[in-house]
Amino acid sequence: MTAREAILQRLYQGREQQGGLDVPVSNFAVLERPHWNHADKRQRFEQAMRSVHTEIHSVSRDNWCTVLQQLATEKGLHNLWVSPDTCHGKELTQHWQLTQTPLLQHCPPLAEWKDELFNQVNAALTGCRGAIAETGSLILWPTTAEPRVISLVPPVHFVLLDGNQLYSTLHQAMHQQGWADTGMPTNALLISGPSKTADIEQTLAYGVHGPKELIVLVLE
Amino acid sequence: MNPATDAVREFTPRARTALDNPAVRNNFRKAMDGLMDKRQAAFADWDLEALRELGAAVRLRALSRLPELLVQLEHNLQARGIQVHWAETGEQACQIVHDICQRRNARSVIKGKSMVSEEMDLNAFLARSGIEALESDLGEYIIQLAGEAPSHIIMPAIHKNTDEISELMHQQTGTRRSHDVDYLTASARSQLREKFMRADVGLSGVNFAIAATGTLCLVENEGNGRLTTTVPDCHIAVTGIEKVVENLEDIAPLLALLTRSATGQHITTYVNMISAPRQPDEKDGPEEVHLVLVDSGRSAIYQDRELLDTLRCIRCGACMNHCPVYTRIGGHAYGTTYPGPIGKILMPHLLGLESAHILPTASTLCGACEEVCPVKIPIPQLLQRLRTEAMDGDPQRPAHMDGHGSKRNWREMLLWHGWTLFNSRPWAYRLGTALAARFRRWTPARLGTWTRYRSAPRPAPQSLQQQLRQCRHKES
């Protein structure tokens, strides 16, 4: 008998001995926040994100490239990675004027540029699929154009968020975006702030293994 | 006998040593006080009782269909290319991980935090074959440098203060001595960065495995979990068979409960959901993903309706943070992978009651653990059940678990038989109390552990029955 068969057999037997298990109803109503309007959601999102050292900037479709360039200058970034295959990437490429902060746009398979990615890429911009107000979380489903490591390895991560894509809770987001129905991607992420740890005597420190800074540009 | 069971036998002297160590007591007291306050604040806006009811219902629903959900999980993971392995014991699970590493000629494994891998003693197993397993969670990294085991399931290095960590990192890695936590954290970041890039295999735990979508869900704050599951070409996830849930939406209440109960955070920095290895058009992610489903005593717990509630646990550690015993003696005193209240009800199953029978007795039954448990595990009730299991030797009753009746001894049994006789026969009771009253001065002053902190009881000069008889006599 294989381990699989033995384990399953014990589980089936165990349940049979007990004559099945009574299960109470799962009432998900406790998770709902029906009274939050858009302004409430926006305020909660910003409050939650700022409480974990996330920078938030309101931008318009006309000025977000300019704001991003200002931020890149202020932070003294050496370079910024952006995908050439996304709408926002193309738009930024057209507007980019900073010579001291060149745009990086190549994205070969990870093995071909691991050293460069880990040691030289200073910052990256990605989009996202929306955000969750209650916990201050960005929803990212990495794609071929914006792979998983891009939101993880560079020390500074900029995220472009459509202000209309704000959900009250995770439960609402997964239902309204139909996660379970459409099938989950290879990797789906919730990102709620820059990387942090409190493993040394409970003292909070940011930027332990992932990005040290998370900056959200909210498109109005 | 393995080292883990030996360690449990040393519980009492370890607890005494911890109690005598003001630094350990202070480190734990400070940390646990902070965690209790943060948890309370994090649930301030919630109908916590309703949320806990939902959490308990979700876990119980999953357990009620556990075999079917495991098969469904396996089917859905395999359909997307994730390889699923089953292990009856920790050693089998280690062997599976080892074989995957060997097939890939892997020499280095970078690890995200995984308590199941601690339970399996995986690092030592791999080391015997010359495979280096390096912990990457900062707390785990620190205790690996110290050659210690975790003292808390969420904050493994909580027993150490900044001074101790600074000294340890100075000696082991050459950083300068510093109280600056940002400097120490940045040093660990740069030390581990190269390791992430070069590791052959990434190994992680799993917080929830979702059967309906075939998804492995991991939560963490540091980003080491994401690096572990993204950068190396092979990712191996190890998990206990009880971690499966039915639907994707089931993780919403469990996440809400887990992170708030554990550290008072509304959510962790990263919630990482993995449903496939790297697809042909994708640029990164491991080309191979494996899930190792570990039984290691869990299916035995599943045989009994009352004990089965142990499997509802989502490993938040809130029971530890609120336990008056854990807070005073710390995690190492238990000598087990899972310390504190959850360890007391889980480890006797994993190690057998014969070696772990002392754990369920290391509790005041104050009930704080049950009050804060996010999935409402009746821990005090289970502790009492395990105490009974350890003492019970009634041949009429079936043995429920390994080590059933192992603490039963003839002296105690004889004493209880005498007690029964004494209380069920009036002549014996009268004779006994009269003799006790007559010879009360000869009552021993020392009664073993009872009189270590208390004075010995002395029988009254007259029993209650004698006094009652005298009263009645006077009245008549």
Strand, coil or helix: B442 = helix
Using a 10 angstrom Cβ sphere, with 0-12 exposed, 13-18 middle and 19 or more buried, the burial of residue B396 is: exposed
Residues of B in contact with A110 (CB under 8 A): 231, 283-284
Structure-token match 């340890």, residue found: B168
CA B8 to chain centroid: 13
CA-to-CA distance for A166 and A130, rounded, in angstroms?
6
What is the distance in angstroms between the Cα of B223 and the nearest Cα belonging to chain A? Answer: 5
Q: What is the 3-state secondary structure (H, E, C) of B93-128?
A: HHHHHHHHHHHCCCCEEEECCCHHHHHHCHHHHHHH
What predicted TM-score, i.e. pTM, was given to this entire model? Answer: 0.93
CA distances, B68 to each of A11, A23, B45, B62, B217 (Å): 10, 15, 36, 9, 19
Contacts of B15 (CB under 8 A, 6+ apart): B329, B333, B362
Of B231, B270, B299, the CB nearest to A191: B270
A110 within 8 A of B283, measured Cβ to Cβ: yes
Of A26, A180, A187, the CB nearest to B285: A187
CB contact under 8 A, A209 and B160: no
Residues 39-78 of B with CB under 8 A from A: 46-47, 50-51, 53-54, 56-58, 60-61, 63-64, 66-67, 70-71
Can you tell me the mean pLDDT for A107-117? 95
B328 within 8 A of B320, measured Cβ to Cβ: no
* Contact A178/B at CB under 8 A: no
What is the distance in angstroms between the Cα of A65 and the nearest Cα belonging to chain B? Answer: 26
The confidence score (pLDDT) of residue B8 equals 75
User: In the numeric block, which tokens belong to residue B113?
Assistant: 């935090």
**B161-B167-B169-B175 Cα dihedral, nearest 10 degrees:** 130
CB contact under 8 A, A26 and B58: yes
CB contact under 8 A, B270 and A201: no
What is the distance in angstroms between the Cα of B374 and the nearest Cα belonging to chain A? Answer: 14
Helix (H) or strand (E) holding A182: helix A179-182
* Contact A120/B at CB under 8 A: no
Q: Which residues of B427-466 are buried (b: 16+ CB within 10 A; e: fewer)?
A: eeeeebbeeeeeeeeeeeeeeeeeeeeeeeeebeeebeee
Contacts of B25 (CB under 8 A, 6+ apart): B18, B19, B328, B330
B203 within 8 A of B109, measured Cβ to Cβ: yes
What interhelical angle do B48-64 and B251-263 show, nearest 10?
120
Spell out the per-residue pLDDT of chain B, length 476, in tens. 455 566 677 899 999 999 999 988 888 999 999 999 999 999 998 999 999 999 999 999 999 999 999 999 999 999 999 999 999 999 999 999 999 999 999 999 999 999 999 999 999 999 999 999 999 999 999 999 999 999 999 999 999 999 999 999 999 999 999 999 999 999 999 999 999 999 999 999 999 999 999 999 999 999 999 999 999 999 999 999 999 999 999 999 999 999 999 999 999 999 999 999 999 999 999 999 999 999 999 999 999 999 999 999 999 999 999 999 999 999 999 999 999 999 999 999 999 888 888 999 999 999 999 999 999 999 999 999 999 888 887 666 666 688 888 888 889 889 988 999 999 999 999 898 889 888 998 988 888 888 888 988 889 988 888 899 899 999 88
Specify the amino acid at residue B35.
Answer: L
**Nearest residue to B112 via CA among B258, B286, B253, B251:** B286
**Nearest residue to B253 via CA among B36, B58, B40, B19:** B58
Q: Which of B283, B291, B294 has the most A C-beta neighbours within 10 Å, making it the best mutation to test the interface with A? A: B283
CA-to-CA distance for B302 and B292, rounded, in angstroms?
19
B227 within 8 A of B201, measured Cβ to Cβ: no
Strand-by-strand arrangement of the A187-191 sheet: A166-167, A131-132, A137-140, A187-191, B270-274, B215-220, B208-210, B244-245
CB contact under 8 A, B303 and A20: no
Residue B456 dihedral angles phi and psi, to the nearest 5°: -75, 140
Q: Which of A201, A203, A216 has the most B C-beta neighbours within 10 Å, making it the best mutation to test the interface with B? A: A201
CB contact under 8 A, B271 and A197: no
Can you tell me the mean pLDDT for A133-162? 97
CA-to-CA distance for B23 and A173, rounded, in angstroms?
46
CA-to-CA distance for A82 and A91, rounded, in angstroms?
10
User: In the numeric block, which tokens belong to residue A220?
Assistant: 């109005």
The confidence score (pLDDT) of residue B1 equals 42
Using a 10 angstrom Cβ sphere, with 0-12 exposed, 13-18 middle and 19 or more buried, the burial of residue A61 is: exposed
CA-to-CA distance for B349 and B344, rounded, in angstroms?
9
Of A3, A8, A190, the CB nearest to B267: A190
Can you tell me the mean pLDDT for A100-128? 96
